[in-house]
Structure 1
Amino acid sequence: MLKKLFAFALALMAIHSFAQSPVISAKDLANELKTNKNLVIVDVNAPDVYAKKHVQGAISLFFKELYQPNAVEGKLRPAPELAEILGKKGISNTAKIVVYENESNKHNNRVWWILKSLGAADVWSLHVDAKEFAAAQLVLNSNPATAKPTTFALAESKYKSLTMDEVKNLPQGTLLLDGREKEEFNGVDAAKKSKGHIPGAVWMNYREVLTPTGAFKTKDEIIAAASKFGATPEKPIVVYCNSGVKASTLLVGLKEIAGFQNVQYYGGSYADWSSNPENQIVK
């Protein structure tokens, strides 16, 4: 009897921890696949990467498909267009969705945020940890997977992106965090065409919330890392990067895992800010 109660308690703890964060491990995914045949797995890698190997049954949704062509880098298509793309892929707003990519821990979080901003109710981002991935023994293959087209119904969401004007008029005391590489922040990265950063921004590379293997740090580890940059759980914070990708990882780490109370996201980021020649950029 005691053994059964103990096992039940462990199960409750696992469910509780799973529900507290939108980030799941490969082990969680493997267990979920055993019981949920309607789970929608979304692979956001480039098509050639997907073609080589992917989680069995995963739908290919290259993150760049969600961007406007011939526009500011990373600018999203209008919401109705995004909903149409998702529906044609077989992704509905009511499905349980797990988003992943290989090696990095950036674009999966960007697509997670996009789905949440459109009103998807149940979206998860997979931990990127090669050792955990291997241990979970997820079935990988190269067979393309398709799903029956469905409807992605747009819905109101609390996940919103700040506009350029809102960033210009941030309340006093707001901490603006730049999640890019230090060279981009300092305006010395010619490859990225960065001339510097938004005035008042503090540099905090997005990897500060990740372990060396690419998985997210624990709540306490993230709080400790963020404190070095003046970020505390109570402080109003805005995160940005070059085009909203790395900042999405900062957002998930600070807000969703570490529980920071007031973290906002400037999805347009430096690309949007620098598109206006009247905006000041500092080094």
Structure 2
Amino acid sequence: MRASTSAVFVGPELSDALTRLVTQAGAAARATTRVEVTLKADSSPVTSADFAADAVLRDGLARLLPGLAVVSEERAPLPSWPCPGNFVLVDPLDGTKEFIAGRAEYAVNLAILVDRRPVAGFIALPALGLVYRGIVGRGAERLMTSGDDLAPVATPIRARPTPAEGLVAVASLSHRDAATDAFLARPIIAERHHLGSALKFCRIAEGEADVYPRLVPTREWDVAAGDALVVAAGGRVTGADGEPLRYGKVETGFVVPDFIVWGAPAEP
């Protein structure tokens, strides 16, 4: 079902157009010369670069997907209407703290959802010159970028089989909590790397890491694009209860209570 709906909603032409769009949004964020920082109601920072990227995404999605509902982190207040089954989730600048600190690990996230499940994910990492994209049922790819230009050839990527022990784990650079630290302290974890933004999903999708736990609440726009990318690459994304995530939860403010990202199922 998800493979067929992915093909209908995100064919090759639209996939290329959305890849260009997140690349352009990332370039707009990176080109922001005077970065103004303010605090939201939850005390998290937002910058003029967030809004610059959001403007590019807003205009591009209105052109490419007219009539499809869009939920963006930077378009407050959050929608109060019942969320439709099919919609777009965007985080114009994922890893704002990393961006403010001058680190390269920030991203632009865009996900297409069908029946409240992500079927396509696009993640641009402008400071690293990379874009990742995944279409569930069709696979995942990595592309090199230069400014807002894309390399003509995409490299297929695949999550590696998760070993029984000796796992390489990735975890948040800016957000630490006792439950996640306890997970990372398990004997099955051999290496731990702390990274910013959706780059952690990308490392799982390209077979560079095995598990990414996030056991405290976050928001759907932080997760959906990475969810689609990892699943397209053969990996898994679940709640801590092992069940697939559901999206479009307006009633909770689009909160994801917890999740764990895994590589591909272990080979027999």
Q: TM class, shorter-chain normalised?
A: 0.3 to 0.5
Which structure has the highest strand share of the two? 2
TM score, norm. by length of structure 1 = 0.34
Which structure has the highest helix share of the two? 1
